Amino acid sequence: MALGRRTSTGLFFGMFVLLIFSIVFFGATTPNVVFFPESDPKTVYITMELPLGTDIDKTDEVAKRAEAVVDEVIDPYRHIVKSVGVNVGNGKGDFFEPGRAPNKALFTITFVEFVDRDGISTSKIMGELSEAFKNFTGAKFFVEKEEEGPPVGRPINIEVSGDDFAQLVQLTNDIQQTINEQQIPGIENLELDINMSKPEMRVNIDREMVRRLGLSTEMVAGGLRTALYGARVDKFKDGEDEYDIVLRLNDDYRNNVSSLMNMKLKVEKEGVGHHIPISSVAKFTYDTTYENIKRKSNTRMITLYSNVVEGYNANAINERIRTVMSNYEMPAGYKWEMTGEQESQDETSDFLIKALLIAIALIAMILVTQFNSGAKPVIILATVVLSTIGVFLGMGIFGLDFVILMTGVGIVSLAGIVVNNGIVLIDYIDIKREQQRDTLGLPPKGRLSREDEANAVVAAGKTRLRPVMLTAITTILGLIPLAVGLNFDFFGLFTKLDPNIYFGGDNAAFWGPMATTVIFGLTTSTFLTLIMGPVMYNLAVRVRNRMVKEKPSTGEVAAKSS
């Protein structure tokens, strides 16, 4: 029935219409697009940051108040908390930025394994911690979970670059204010990666006075440096070990500005030594400065960054930010770009697309070589493209997230299975057609009637129905435990007769998207292989017979010449 003239044509075009519909339907469900599979964190990090220059004792005092807030939040969940650690003088930092600083403190909350959490979501606890610190005064808090997979940068990362640093700072602050005014939900705390209020004490030396007194600016600066950081005066040797002997002011004087400025400098004048205080040739003022200046491609750059509150989608937030920035007028010579996780996500997407295209190209080359035909590889590869119908429909119906990394890997894996089934079926159709020609006494390239062509296709489909179905069923059944997150302890079963069966966990969150992609796609591709493969094959034969005239056989040519 499917091989009828109108039916086969309708099925062929209907499949491509269904492909377009599945993509549109999936997009209409507004799925969450995430870069890496997300799971409940096993460890939560809270970085507390006070103004730069804060003494570590003050940081410790504020950290005790923050620790009380942490204890209050996790108290109802104490039975699933493994440990709570506090490290004053360190932040979480990242690969490029060390977290050691006296104005920071790091809280580390570790939970028990997934199976022992009684179904409590640690992501929910993480959200409660973020909410609890919103009204905390005197410090900034950054709530993060443990990083899974390769480092990809911050979820929200906007690099603003330009030449004039003062204007760049002003521009970046204006962009920060513009984004904050939109009140985009999910942004934890939009910050600049440069601290513009680093305290400093600026010593201004009176050069004229220095020359009059027989000093030099180097002597004044060297005296202050020696007082603060010390100078090596000798070495102490203990066996084979050597230790530097450093001379500097006592802490009580070194941390006292008056003592530093009244420190005496010795001046020899006409054989007589004079001691002159530094305050007589220099004055000091308190000021602020930048902590650092970063460059990218020889252009000054400031980064706006933020974490994403647990439960919100980073891609949706970044899309809102792009919309805001598209209407923001940038001065000439200045530009902005999304980097961090977004940049890694785009690179991974491009890589997976290229990998899929290269795989399809290599498969096509091999198929053309083996089948010595162009139509048959196109039929097989068409089933690969159409198999994504099941992927998009399944994910849209069940409301699943589109995980760029693992869903992409699943689609690439699906292509291999679909091609394998298609090769088996198409090759066997060729075998049945050759057998039909031998039965009818036709030459190897002789044309069969429409009825004989249909019979050969039907016979091949019947024969290959079982192996194709078994391949699909066994693969789907094998992936279902991975898709639903079924955990089974074989060792416990054989030693204690306790399989400890439970659902979920970190492995399920990581491998589940790939498994569901293959299951949805394979369900559709099985139908495509068994129905649409023969339909497209039969259509290709009919088109060829209509467009290419049959060449006469050798016997017919000899009869005409005689």
**pLDDT at 64 (0 to 100):** 92
* pLDDT-derived band at 96, boundaries 50, 70, 90: very low
Confidence of residue 93 (pLDDT cuts 50, 70, 90): low
Q: What is the average per-residue pLDDT within 45-53? A: 85
Q: Give residue 548's pLDDT.
A: 67
SS3 assignment, position 66:
helix
Report the pLDDT value the prediction gives residue 196, as an integer from 0 to 100.
73
Contact 533, 391 (CB under 8 A): no
Split at pLDDT 50, 70, 90, the class of 471 is confident
Residues 475-508 pLDDT 10s: 888 888 888 878 777 777 777 777 777 777 777 7
pLDDT of residue 97 exceeding 70, the answer is no
Give yes or no for residue 556 having a pLDDT over 50: no
Predicted confidence (pLDDT) at residue 57 exceeds the cutoff of 70: yes
**C-beta separation of 300 from 167 below 8 A:** no
Higher pLDDT, 47 or 537: 47
Q: For the segment 172-223, what is each residue's pLDDT rounded down to a tens digit? A: 999 999 999 888 888 888 888 887 777 788 889 888 888 888 888 888 888 8
Residue 559 pLDDT grade (very low, low, confident, very high; cuts 50, 70, 90):
very low
Q: What is the mean pLDDT of the chain?
A: 83
Strands, DSSP E only, in 313-430? 335-338, 402-403
User: What is the spatial distance between Cα 312 and Cα 321, in angstroms, rounded to a whole number?
Assistant: 14
Interval 243-270: pLDDT, tens: 888 888 888 888 888 888 888 888 877 6
> Which pLDDT score is estimated for 446?
73
DSSP 186-238: TB---EESS-TTEEEEEEEE-HHHHHHTT--HHHHHHHHHHHHH-EEEEEEEE
Per-residue pLDDT tens over the stretch 369-417: 878 878 888 888 888 888 888 888 988 888 888 888 788 888 888 888 8
In the predicted model, what is the mean pLDDT of residues 410-436?
84
What percent of the chain has pLDDT above 70?
93
> What integer pLDDT is reported at residue 108 of this predicted model?
92
Give the number of C-alpha atoms closer than 13 A to the C-alpha of residue 285, restricted to the C-beta side. 5
Buried b (16+ CB within 10 A) or exposed e, 85-115: ebebbbbbeeeeeeeebbbbbbbebebeebe
pLDDT in tens, 331-378: 888 999 988 888 888 888 888 888 878 888 888 888 888 788 788 888
pTM recorded for the entire structure: 0.65
Q: How confident is the model at residue 562 (pLDDT cuts 50, 70, 90)?
A: very low
**Backbone φ and ψ of 336, nearest 5°:** -130, 155
| Mean predicted confidence (pLDDT) in 410-439 | 84
Q: What's the rounded mean pLDDT across residues 427-456?
A: 81
Helix (H, G, I), strand (E, B) or coil at 47: strand
Residue 560 has pLDDT above 50, yes or no: no
pLDDT over threshold 70, residue 37: yes
Question: Helix (H, G, I), strand (E, B), or coil: what is residue 522?
Answer: helix
In the chain, the percentage of residues whose pLDDT exceeds 90 is: 7
322 close to 342: Cβ distance less than 8 angstroms: no
**Mean pLDDT along residues 468-480:** 87
- The predicted pLDDT at position 174 comes to 92
- Confidence at residue 99, expressed as pLDDT on a 0 to 100 scale: 54
* Chain segment 127-171, per-residue pLDDT in tens: 889 888 888 888 888 888 877 666 667 888 999 998 888 888 889
